[in-house]
Structure 1
Amino acid sequence: MSYSRNKPSSLSRLTQHLDVIRQRFRKTIINSNVAYAALLIIGVVVIGSLGYSLLEGWSLLDSVYATIITITTVGYGDLTPETPAGRVFSIFFTLIAIGVAGYALSTVAVLVIEHQQIRVKQMMEERKMKHIADLNDHIILCGGGYIGKRVAHELYQTDTPFVIIEPDENILRWTLLYLHQDYVAKKLRQFHHLDYVQSDTTEYERQDIAELAEHVGVLYLQEDNTDDAALMRAGIERARGLITTMEDDRDNLFTVLSARQLAKHLNNPRLRIISRLVDEPNKRKLRAAGADAIVSPNVMGGFQIASSLLQPEVAAYWDYILSECEETVRFIELYTDHHPELIGQTVSEIRERYNRIVIAIKRNGNYIHVPDLATVTEKADILIAVGTL
């Protein structure tokens, strides 16, 4: 009795297993071009073998042999159809077989190429993550876009190690392109000269993100820049600074808060956080979240626009050293505690020996503006100078 009760249950389970296998097989066939091509080849072999066997009366071995040499276009000539029906069948079968064989070959070739591309991308990703893991005392840049690419360019020009975190592929691509010297040179020629010659830059713009980043030599994470996990993968525990340049103060605020909490949790109190400010009322919130400095591009842009009118040559020179000058001229801060050789030197001696023009000295919390050439530097001074990097 127990056997009769269990039998339907066993058959039901077997039927279910077979149905699952059938569905998986069907799904695999539908989703796999290789499996589909293999089925086509098998179908062609079966049809060809049956056709030759029935129409020509050949043995199964001879029929399969004739089918294979037809598919592979070898055509030894030792087996040829003799009946009119066999010849007509051979004409149509040869056309179909060659088409199927070409499709199968191209499918396999695509599979091999795709597999190789995936492997190359995996290797590039592993190499990138290893480089990020080796970074120390670097900068994490959260956000690309108009402001982010300018920040990235300045870090790139000054040889400062950094990691870009940007989830949007298009924004990330334009940020990386802004660091590509050949691309920028072509764009500058197009913008600055009125010869109306359009430079072809599609080669760079269509390049894969990973290849573009490796060519430029920049590390990136195409991830959510407000995610704690992304900040940790970027090495926030070893970073000396983090910059947020997103267009929404809420994203900047969330990132600043997360970064400050992670820095405390991971014992990195030296992390300096700089945040972009979009709306002035949010400045207090960003400061409370842990931002060390808050910069408003609107304020800086307004100042530069006014300067372009009031002091055009100063503004023109500033624009020149930022965009066209072959040398990297920048404001530099020098700590005498870090450079003890500067202690006891006069401003004039620093200019002659180190090619640095001191324009201000911060001493005991106060600034000495345009110090006299005979001013002697002291311990704990911070020198604000102009020079080349």
Structure 2
Amino acid sequence: MRLFSLFKHKIYLAVILLVITLTIGVLGYKFIADYSWVDAMYMTVITITTVGFGEVVPLTPEAKIFTIILILLSVVIVGFAITVISEYILSRSSYNDLIHRKVQQEIDKMNDHIIVCGYGRNGQEAVQKLMAYNKQFVVIEMDTDIIEKYESDKNIHFVNGNANEDEILEKAGIDRASALLCALPEDADNLFIVLSARQLNSTLKIISRATAETSQKKLKLAGADNVIMPDRIGGDHMASLVVVPDLIEFLDNLSVVGEEDSINVEEIGFSQVCLDGKEATIKEINLRYRTGCTIIGYRSPSGKYIVNPEADMRIEKESKLIVIGRPEQIKKLHATFGI
């Protein structure tokens, strides 16, 4: 960035010198050669640019000497201006190419990352959540203006292009990714991306947004694991605030992400609570006594969810526990189990 700042100062200097030269030329031809203002401007421009047109009227000896001096002066200044502007354009292009190559090299090293298609409102919300959880991710965005606006954030890796194209998905490392989020505003675009992504990576977890009810089933058939309808969620949330306001406000205040001293809900896996690798019951791990957190949910290896599981339920391999607690209890949970 310091390089570009230096170039900008040189460009400003070149422009100032050109303006000064133009002013000297106009005033010189006006008062030395007794030209009109228009003729003086015309003679100055054709002299500085060395286009080779003839004089408006024959020059006096004094005007000829002035023209020689103006030509010599303008050759140096115009040459300087052209050099500075050319260097700035070439250096900026080279700098951008260097940055893009560096970003692509970092993407090529990623594994089990998340690909976010579209950096609009929904895409930005998704990225904020992923950043809060320290997840690796890549954003595919077609609008170069958006990329230029946000690419200064070193935590965001952009791939410029249309996510509908297999080549762009491959640049984002879809063969090594663990999940893909389709956050484009058009359902047709999301549908095409889901189809392409599922063909390129059969084990990929795909989550897509949808606007129309009819698109939900189509996206599922195309290979999406989950389909989110933001409008439905928003309307349902507003209605719930009328029907059961206290419950919804309580749930809204449960923090599942953010600073460590504000989290209330946590998800922990089998390997984190059963450090010896052996299956145990909820009672045997005694999470409540050891950390103060309460287990409110259990996800079996097959994906079945059980709310408020019994104490004698056995925690199987590849299962997960959903726990709730105050921030200090969650912090103790992290320390106890090394999360």
Q: TM-score range by the shorter chain?
A: 0.5 to 0.7
Greater Cα radius of gyration, structure 1 or 2? 1
Residues 330, 280 of structure 1: CA spacing in aligned structure 2 closer, same or farther, 3 A cutoff? farther
Q: CA deviation at 1:96?
A: 4.2
Aligned match of 2:298: 361
2:274 maps to 1:344: no
Which runs of 5 or more residues in structure 1 are unaligned?
A: 1-70, 72-83, 174-207, 264-268
The AA in structure 1 aligned to 2:198 is R
- Deviation sequence 1:245-288 (CA, Å, 0-9, x none): 1111111110000000111xxxxx43111111211112111111
- Describe how 1:126-205 pairs up with structure 2 within 5 A: 126-170=101-145, 172-173=146-147
Counterparts of 2:65 and 2:292, CA distance in 1: 87
Q: CA deviation at 1:156?
A: 1.3
Counterparts of 2:292 and 2:160, CA distance in 1: 41
Counterparts of 1:97 and 1:346, CA distance in 2: 90
The AA in structure 2 aligned to 1:283 is Q
- Deviation sequence 1:52-102 (CA, Å, 0-9, x none): xxxxxxxxxxxxxxxxxxx9xxxxxxxxxxxx9544322233234323422
The number of aligned residues is 264
Out of 376, 382, 386, the position equivalent to 2:320 is: 382
Aligned match of 1:329: 263
- Deviation sequence 1:15-35 (CA, Å, 0-9, x none): xxxxxxxxxxxxxxxxxxxxx
Counterparts of 1:216 and 1:148, CA distance in 2: 17
Out of 215, 218, 237, the position equivalent to 1:282 is: 215
Decide whether the 8 Å contact of 2:116 with 2:139 is kept in 1.
yes
The AA in structure 1 aligned to 2:143 is D
Q: CA deviation at 1:366?
A: 5.0
Residues 319, 124 of structure 1: CA spacing in aligned structure 2 closer, same or farther, 3 A cutoff? farther
The AA in structure 2 aligned to 1:98 is L
Decide whether the 8 Å contact of 1:132 with 1:235 is kept in 2.
yes
Aligned match of 1:103: 78
Residues 369, 317 of structure 1: CA spacing in aligned structure 2 closer, same or farther, 3 A cutoff? closer
Aligned match of 1:271: 204
Counterparts of 1:108 and 1:150, CA distance in 2: 45
Secondary structure, in 3 states, of the residue corresponding to 1:257? Answer: helix
Aligned match of 2:176: 238
Q: CA deviation at 1:326?
A: 7.2
Which 10-residue stretch deviates more, 224-233 or 104-113? 104-113
Residues 365, 110 of structure 1: CA spacing in aligned structure 2 closer, same or farther, 3 A cutoff? closer
Aligned match of 1:250: 188
Secondary structure, in 3 states, of the residue corresponding to 2:153? Answer: helix
- TM-score of the superposed pair, with normalisation by structure 1: 0.60
Residues 124, 357 of structure 1: CA spacing in aligned structure 2 closer, same or farther, 3 A cutoff? farther
Aligned match of 2:10: none
Counterparts of 1:94 and 1:245, CA distance in 2: 64
**Alpha carbon RMSD of aligned pairs, Å?**
3.1
Out of 158, 162, 171, the position equivalent to 1:224 is: 162
Decide whether the 8 Å contact of 1:337 with 1:379 is kept in 2.
no
Decide whether the 8 Å contact of 2:132 with 2:258 is kept in 1.
no
Out of 300, 303, 306, the position equivalent to 2:233 is: 300
- Deviation sequence 1:189-243 (CA, Å, 0-9, x none): xxxxxxxxxxxxxxxxxxx45xx42434210111001111100111111000011
Counterparts of 2:264 and 2:174, CA distance in 1: 27
Which runs of 5 or more residues in structure 2 are unaligned?
A: 1-47, 49-58, 325-329, 332-338
The AA in structure 2 aligned to 1:101 is V
Decide whether the 8 Å contact of 1:308 with 1:316 is kept in 2.
no
Q: CA deviation at 1:128?
A: 0.4
Residues 230, 367 of structure 1: CA spacing in aligned structure 2 closer, same or farther, 3 A cutoff? closer
Decide whether the 8 Å contact of 2:133 with 2:257 is kept in 1.
no
Residues 215, 247 of structure 1: CA spacing in aligned structure 2 closer, same or farther, 3 A cutoff? closer
Residues 313, 362 of structure 1: CA spacing in aligned structure 2 closer, same or farther, 3 A cutoff? closer
Decide whether the 8 Å contact of 1:157 with 1:328 is kept in 2.
no
- Describe how 1:306-317 pairs up with structure 2 within 5 A: 306-309=239-242, 310-312=244-246, 314-315=248-249
Residues 236, 328 of structure 1: CA spacing in aligned structure 2 closer, same or farther, 3 A cutoff? farther
Secondary structure, in 3 states, of the residue corresponding to 1:109? Answer: helix
The AA in structure 2 aligned to 1:298 is D
The AA in structure 2 aligned to 1:340 is C
Residues 382, 325 of structure 1: CA spacing in aligned structure 2 closer, same or farther, 3 A cutoff? closer
Counterparts of 1:378 and 1:144, CA distance in 2: 39
Counterparts of 2:114 and 2:162, CA distance in 1: 17
Secondary structure, in 3 states, of the residue corresponding to 1:215? Answer: coil
The AA in structure 2 aligned to 1:344 is A
Counterparts of 1:365 and 1:261, CA distance in 2: 24
Counterparts of 1:352 and 1:94, CA distance in 2: 93
Counterparts of 1:324 and 1:379, CA distance in 2: 29
The AA in structure 2 aligned to 1:154 is K
Q: CA deviation at 1:169?
A: 2.7
